[in-house]
Structures are given as structure tokens and as C-alpha cells.
Amino acid sequence: MSIKLRHKSDTFGYKKINMIFRANLPNKVSRMERANKVYRYRGKAGLILVFHFLILAVSVQAQEKIILYSSAIPNSKPSALKESGTGMYKDVTIPTLEYFRPNTEKASGAAVIIIPGGGYSVVVYDGEGVSTAKALAEKGIAAFVLKYRLPNDAIMKDKKTGPLQDVQQAMKLVRDNAEKWGLDKNKIGIMGFSAGGHLASTAATHFDKSYIDNKEITSLRPDFQILVYPVISMTAALTHTGSRDNLLGKNPNNEDVDLFSNELQVQPNTPPAYITHTADDKTVDVDNSIIYFEKLRKYKIPVEMHIYPKGDHGFIFRHPGWMEPLFGWMQNNAWLK
């Protein structure tokens, strides 16, 4: 069985928390999983099927890559470091957004900036980013996959703020170009996995301070946040040690620990949230999600949480259909048609 927790403020018509027990997800291959598996076909018929699938994918999921900064990258310093990897990247020095256009028949005007995880040491770009973007785009959500700089003293003057700058710049870029892309600038959310969930929740709780050049005073507040097995806290008792070491260093001061423990940064204007995790996650303790849920609830911020009993870290690769409850939440909030 799995646990679904939902809380909405009185403003949205709910006055209590509902706990619903649900059956485990069906063991079916989802559209997203099919799109990301590579099958070996033999013979002419197989090649025709592959060719047909590729044509369909391109026509529905047309995309473009955007350099995040049109001028100098903030908080950077000269370095010989070069990006490496295919599908999973490290040593990113030039951050980008990859835009997956929504299905025109289902387009709702909403957009999601996707932040893949990787413990602040790599970016799990294809597995958590591109796969998710394709699924969202098919449902009519404009999706932007962020390839962000990883905290590194070799390329940054202050590695703590470098990733957050890239997320804020992504939010500004999408919102500033909303009309051009046919988007509603008041329906731009953020989504993060694992350490990317920490970065997403940081963007959702630190938007009042701009770490980038923002002469237009564009709002950097996400309209909603989606967190998937997220790192939330930097406290020693709760954090994912590797993520904290990479972001803050091995011996961070208390001020930095508190600042980047996002359960301590929730305010009444923190955006609504959808959170999902597994109870048996041995990499990022599920208490990260639970404590964040409780802080959001305390401030009467609409929040829905799904905790599955099994699946461990990265459960999305083993739970086909994990996005179905998310789509329901988005539809209930008018971010999905």
C-alpha cells in the first residue's frame, strides 16, 4: 500500500489533512519509459517501426537548446575545466535550457523548469530531465530541462550560489519570453529530483533575493514546485552528505547550513507543492520530504505528498505510472487541461 497525504489551506476550500491508502502502481510500461528504452529490432519491419517512431517523436516533441546567459556568466572565473558526458554530465561550465514544446492540442499555457539530480556532482540529464520533459510535453505542458553548473571552486567565486543563479536565470528567461512561447507567465513551475529537488526547493524559498542581474525586476518566484525524492535539509541529521559536501564543503558553518536547509526557509508566500518519495529510500531519507510537508502545512500552503512503501532512491525508473498522480494534481490546479 502507499500513502497519499494532501493538505490545502482554508483559502482553497480544505480544512484538514486527508490520508488515503492506495494500491501500488500497476506494473505497466508507461509512455515515458517506452520513449527512453532502446530496443533492438531485426529485419526490415523493425527498421521501419524505428523510423516511424523517430519521425513521430520529432514532430510532437520539437525542441531547441538555449544558452542560459546571453552575456558573461555571473559568479564565474577562468578555468581549464571542460564539460564531459553524454546523457549524464559533469563539470558543466555553460548552462543551458532545452525546450520541449507542448502538444498543441493539449497546451494549457503552463510550463515547468526541470532540474535533474546527481548529488551536485553530475547532472542526470536524460534519465530525469529529458524523459520527464517528453511526458510533460505530451500532456500539454511546456518543459524546459536545465543543465546547470555544479558547485565547484575551480569555476565559481562562490560555489554555494552558482546553481541557484542558474535556476533563477532560467525562471527569468522563461517568464520574460512567455508571450513569445505562448505561455502564461503566472503558470511557470519548477521540478527537481534528488539534489535537483534541493535546488528546486531552494528556488522556491529564496526567490525574494535575486542572485542574478534582474533590471526588469522579473518575478523569480515559481508558481508551483514539484519535488521528487528531494534533498531538503543540510542539517547533519537529515541531509544527503554527498550533496551537502559538494554544495557547502565538508565543514560548513551554521549560517550556511541554516540558509540552505529549506525546511527552515518556508514562508507564507512559498509556492504550492507536490512531493513524492519512497519510505525505503536509503540514499535520501524520506524525512526530508515529510519535514518539508509539515512546514508547508504549518504555513497553510497547499501541498500534496505521495509516499510509496518501496522503490528506493530513483524509484521513477522502477515505478511506471509514477506521474499519473502528478498529472491529477496539475489538472486540479488548472496547470493541465
Top pLDDT among 155 and 14 is at: 155
pLDDT at position 327 is 98
Phi-psi region of 23 (alpha: psi -120 to 50; beta: other; left: phi over 0): beta
pTM: 0.84
The 10 Å Cβ neighbour count of residue 301 is: 22
pLDDT at position 63 is 81
Indicate the pLDDT class of residue 131, thresholds 50, 70 and 90: very high
Domain definitions of the chain by residue range: 2-332
pLDDT in tens, 232-275: 999 999 999 999 999 999 999 999 999 999 999 999 999 999 99
**Domain boundaries 2-332, CATH class:** alpha beta
* Residues in the chain, total: 337
CA 258 to chain centre: 22
Identity of the residue numbered 42: R
Question: Sign of torsion, CA 234 230 329 221?
Answer: positive
pLDDT above 90 (res 165):
yes
Mean pLDDT, rounded, for 219-234: 98
pLDDT in tens, 67-125: 999 999 999 999 999 999 999 999 999 999 999 999 999 999 999 999 999 999 999 99
pLDDT in tens, 17-39: 333 333 333 443 444 443 444 33
The SS3 of residue 20 is strand
